[in-house]
Amino acid sequence: MATRYPGVIPPHMLKRLSEHGSESQRRWASSTLSTDRHFRQPMAAREMAAALHAEYSNSPRGTPSRYIFDAGHKTELPGELVLSEGEPATADDTAHEAYTDLGATYRFFYDVFERHSIDGEGMALLGSVHYGEAYQNAFWDGRQMVFGDGDGEIFLPFTRAIDVVAHELTHGVTELTAGLVYYNQSGALNESISDVFGVMVKQYQAGQTVDEADWLIGAALLGPEVQGKALRSMAAPGTAYDDPVLGKDPQPGHMDQFVDTTDDNGGVHINSGIPNHAFYLIATELGGYSWETAGAIWYAALTDERLANDAQFVDFAGLTMAHATQRFGSKVADIVQKGWQQVGIGP
């Protein structure tokens, strides 16, 4: 079985939808939950992906290698190749969006951190669109991105949200650097790091400063009838949505509200709100562009060999303070420490 993280839509949202949605919404949410629980990537798909990586993961530094497939509403991966690097746009908007978002994510990591693709060595970026029937998620399976079309009512096509695409690709970066265990605090930290880099990619593409950004994750995914603005809010965890069908956003923004649960690998999508909020507080206090100082500190901590795969929030906080001191001096380190303290982490 390929390494694979649950999708950007957390299980608690899909479970709620499967219980409180309309008949069709319940059906599609239940189908997505079942697919997520029983996902297996067929051997032929793994071999094809490995062959593509071997053949195409040799692009020159500064140039991505993107390959978009159409799964044809089936769950066999990767599907039919419909768009390759450098080819003109196809008539399929979804395939074009996936191609564009993969490129924007590559460009951010390369321009800002000089990282040549996910593995730092030019790994090909593969994406499959139109996965499953009204599949309400997107995920990184250890080799490629996979995008559902949503049901068109609660969730729109998942290629529409560049922060979601960058979020999932960052799981690949984390997997190949810190390898954070996807459970409890290390799992929530894994999810938070994906949100942090996802929101930075969105801000980078838009040229937004920390004061201009909305600090929302997945704002482009929610259907027009949903009472909410996004999947998550880094500025105000717990306020992203409050909907009769989806329920209320359960994310805490402080360790005082940390959620102890066995669901969702120990609440990885819920408790990620705490380090998310710390990054928001630190980045906005520092000002300017999020990736210039706060992002540089987060990337240095993520790629630091001292970061254990079972790291707790306080461990990561300590590394960010160390890198802030080393790279930017005591004034910035004090801001980083204060941000973590504001969410109940650190001395």
Question: Distance between CA 77 and CA 49 in Å, rounded?
Answer: 9
Residue 87 known to be catalytic = no
Choosing from 168, 191, 277, 323, the catalytic residue is 168
Asked if residue 132 lies in contact with residue 98, where contact means CB atoms within 8 angstroms, the answer is: no
Residue 80 known to be catalytic = no
Question: Distance between CA 63 and CA 80 in Å, rounded?
Answer: 23
Residue 34 burial (10 A CB sphere; 0-12, 13-18, 19+): exposed
Choosing from 130, 269, 277, 323, the catalytic residue is 269
CB atoms within 10 A of CB 307: 21
Angle between helices 264-271 and 184-206 (to 10 degrees): 40
* Active site members: 168, 269
